[in-house]
Amino acid sequence: MQLNDLTYAVIGGAIEVHRVLGPGLLEGAYEVCLQHELRLRGLKVERQVVLPVQYKGVTIEEATGLTCSSKSV
């Protein structure tokens, strides 16, 4: 899948989740629903993947995120 196609699918999925759920829920609820929505769209998705982040010369290993088709989202 091309990066533009992946971007289109992820943004479309996020818009769909927000359209259905609306505002005001905790981040975790949106994350689980987005994972489900992206899987419905045929994408491989993992939640709470440790993503090393560089901050002022220090690697922070506790940062987590969502990956979709091996790309950080």
Q: What are phi and psi of 37, to 5 degrees?
A: -60, -45
Sequence-ordered alpha helix ranges (H) in the chain: 3-21, 27-40
Q: For residues 26 and 23, what is the distance between their CA atoms, to the nearest angstrom? A: 9
pLDDT of residue 18: 97
Q: For residue range 7-65, list pLDDT tens digits in order.
A: 999 999 999 999 999 999 999 999 999 999 999 999 999 888 887 888 999 988 776 77
Q: For residues 45 and 37, what is the distance between their CA atoms, to the nearest angstrom? A: 10
pLDDT of residue 71: 66
CB 42 within 8 A of CB 36: no
pLDDT of residue 42: 92
